[in-house]
Amino acid sequence: MEVLVQAAGVHQYRGVRHVLKGVDLTIHRGEIVGLIGQNGSGKSTLIQVLSGILRPELGRIDLAGEFYRPESVDAARAAGVSVIEQDFESPAGQTVAEAMYRHTFMAGRPHAELLEPAKAVMARTQFEVDLDAITDTLDPAEQAIVEVLRVLAEEAQLVVFDEASSMLHEIDIVQLHAAARRLRDHGCAVLYVAHRLEEVVAISDRVAVMRQGQIVSVVDAREATVDGLAHAMLQRPIGAAAARDKGPLGDVRLAVQGLSVGKRLKDVAVDLRVGEVLGVVGLRESGAHELIEAVAGVRPSASGSVHLNGEQLGSLHDAGDRIRYLPSNALQDDEKISDLLASGAKGETELARLRHAVAVAHHLELSTSDIQGPMKSLSGGDRQKVSVAETLASGADVIVLNHPTRGVDVGVKDRVHSLIRDLVDDGTSVVFFASNVEELLAHSDRVAVVHDGQIVAVLDPAEVDEDIVMDYAAYGEVTQRQARGA
C-alpha cells in the first residue's frame, strides 16, 4: 500500500513538559490505524500536530511524499487532513448540505446551490441523510454520518476520528464503524483514536500503542488481544479492578414509587439496596437519562413517593447532601486539585487537608508535580479520577454516577471501579449509568433497563449477556432469536 503519512522523530513540548518524545508513525492509504494510550500519553498532542493546531518542534512529517507542517487548522484541511471530534459540531440552523461544505470554499453559498454536489458526495457512501434537515435536530449517529460526509466534501486524505465514539451508544457505534470503513474503501487513511480496546481491535487494520510520548509498538489488529494491548499501554496486567465479588444485597436504602418526569418517564418504580451498584442502561430518548437525574434530585419536576433510609421525603430533591450526583460533563477546570482531593479529610487544619490530598493523589496515581495547581493542568483521565474521588468522598448515602468512565483509558477505568468498589463495600449505594453494556454487567449487582419511559427489566448480570440487555433496551423485550438461544 502507498504510504500517506510518515512521521519521524516528532518532538513537542508544552511549557517545560516534554510531551512527544520522538514519535515515529506510518499510515497507508486505504487503511485504518487504531491509536491507543493512557490519558496523558501524548495522543491528543499528536492529533493537534497532525491537524495544524501545533507545529512540531523537532522531527519531520511527510504527507503524500511532501513535507508537511501546516500553520493552521485551515491549512491542514487544505492539505487533506480532517478531524472528526467526539463532540460533533452541529452548527445551529445549518442544513446537512450547508454543514458538509462549511469548511470549504463553498461555505456560505445558498442551500439550493449545494444540493447537487452534496448528493454526489453522499452517493459515494451508500448513506442516506436528509440534506434539507437542520443538523442540530439530528441524533448523534446521524450527526456522525454528516461529519463523514463533511470530510469527503473536504476531499480529505487523512481522517482522524478523535474519540468520536465516546458519546455514542453501542447501536450508534456500529454506524460510526461503517462510516470509517467507507472512508477506508474510498482510499482515505484513517487514524482511529478510542479508549475501548475491543472497539479499536474490531475497527482497525493495525493498532499503534502510545506510551509516555512515544509509539512503543504497532501490531496487526488480527493478531491483537485486549489483554495484550492493555499490558503494552500500562506495563502491568489489568484485572485488579475486574468484576467485583457480589454478595447478598442489603436492606432497601432508597425506594421510589410512581416516578414520572414529563412525558419521558412514566410511573416508574425503582429501589436501591445498601451496598449495591445498580446499573442503568437505555438508548437515546428512552427516559434513562431522566431517570438517573430524577433519582439524583436534579430534576425538580419529577413526581412520585420517596423513602430514603425508611424516611418518607417530599421529593428526591429534599434528600439534600444524602444523595450526590456526578454528571457526565463535570467541569471543574479552575478548582485547585488539592481542594477537591481534601474534601474527605477529617483533619481541620490546612496542613492536615494538604496531607490528605497528597495521600489521595498518590493512591490515584495522578501525574502532576503541583498538587495545588488547577484541575485544567491535569490530563483528561486524571481530571476524571479526581472528580470521581471527590464525589465518592462526599459521605452521601447514595451516589449517582453518569458515565463516570466515559473518555478515559483502561487504566483510569480500572482505578475508578476500584474506588467505587471500596465505597460500596463500606455500605454506600451507587447508581451507575453508562452506555457500555459490557462494563455495566461486569460492575453492577443488578442492571435496570429503560425503554420507552419505563423500566422493562431488572436483570442479574450473572444470568444475561450483552445481546439480551440490548434487546430489552431496543425492543422492551427479548426477541424470539434471543429467546431461542437462551
pLDDT confidence of residue 302 = 77
| 341-399 residue pLDDT tens | 887 666 668 888 888 888 888 877 787 878 888 888 887 778 888 888 888 888 899 99
Distance CA 213, CA 24 (A): 10
pLDDT of residue 118: 95
Do β-strands 323-326 and 214-220 pair in parallel, antiparallel, or remain unpaired?
Answer: unpaired
Q: Flag whether pLDDT at 37 surpasses 70.
A: yes
- Give the model confidence (pLDDT) of 288-324 as tens digits: 989 999 898 888 767 888 999 989 988 888 888 899 9
- Other Cβ atoms within 10 Å of 298 Cβ, number: 16
Render pLDDT for 18-29 as a digit per residue (tens, 0 to 9).
999 999 999 999
- The predicted pLDDT at position 16 comes to 79
**How high is the pLDDT of residue 50?**
97
Instruction: Write out the chain in H/E/C secondary structure.
Output: CCEEEEEEEEEEEECCEEEEEEEEEEEECCCEEEEEECCCCCHHHHHHHHCCCCCCCEEEEEECCEECCCCCHHHHHHHCEEEEECCCCCCCCCEHHHHHCCCCCCCCCCHHHHHHHHHHHHHCCCCCCCCCCEHHHCCHHHHHHHHHHHHHHCCCCEEEEECCCCCCCHHHHHHHHHHHHHHHHCCCEEEEECCCHHHHHHHCCEEEEEECCEEEEEEEHHHCCHHHHHHHHHCCCCCCCCCCCCCCCCCEEEEEEEEEECCCEEEEEEEEECCCEEEEEECCCCCHHHHHHHHCCCCCCCEEEEEECCEEECCHHHHHHHEEEECCCCCCCCCEHHHHHHHHCCCCCHHHHHHHHHHHHHHHCCCCCCCCCEHHHCCHHHHHHHHHHHHHCCCCCEEEEECCCCCCCHHHHHHHHHHHHHHHHCCCEEEEECCCHHHHHHHCCEEEEEECCEEEEEECHHHCCHHHHHHHHHHCCCCHHHHHHC
Mean pLDDT for 141-168 is 88
Model confidence band, residue 247 (pLDDT cutoffs 50, 70, 90): low
Edge-first strand listing for the sheet containing 398-402? 323-326, 398-402, 429-433, 277-282, 446-451, 454-459
What pLDDT is attached to residue 241? 43
Task: Give the C-alpha separation, 118 to 293, whole Å.
Answer: 40
Q: Is the pLDDT of residue 239 over 70?
A: no
**Among 148, 217, 220, 228, which residue's Cα sits nearest to residue 188?**
148
Arithmetic mean of pLDDT over the chain: 87
Question: Given this model, what pLDDT does residue 213 score?
Answer: 93
User: How confident is the model over 44-103, as pLDDT tens digits?
Assistant: 999 999 999 999 999 999 999 999 999 999 999 999 999 998 777 667 889 999 999 999
234: left (phi over 0), alpha (psi -120 to 50) or beta: alpha
The pLDDT tens digits of the residues spanning 253-272 come to 999 999 998 888 889 999 99
Torsional sign, CA 440, 443, 444, 445: positive
Which pLDDT score, from 0 to 100, does residue 240 have? 44
* Residue-level pLDDT at 83: 94
Least trusted range by pLDDT, from 109-113, 207-211, 462-466: 462-466
Cβ-in-10-Å burial (0-12, 13-18, 19+) of 61 comes to buried
| Range in 13-17, 67-71, 186-190, 419-423 with the lowest mean pLDDT | 13-17
CA distances (Å), 240 to each of 203, 222, 263, 421, in order?
27, 26, 42, 11
Flag the least confident range among 31-35, 272-276, 302-306, 451-455. Answer: 302-306
What's the pLDDT band for 330 if we cut at 50, 70, 90?
low
pLDDT for the residue numbered 242:
45
For residues 225-229, average pLDDT: 90
Asked whether the beta carbons of 172 and 166 are under 8 A apart, the reply is no
Q: What structural domains does the chain harbor?
A: 3-234 (3.40.50.300), 252-334+378-485 (3.40.50.300), 336-373 (no CATH)
Average confidence (pLDDT) over 197-212: 94
CA angle 84, 182, 162 (to 5 degrees): 20
Q: Is the pLDDT of residue 120 over 70?
A: yes
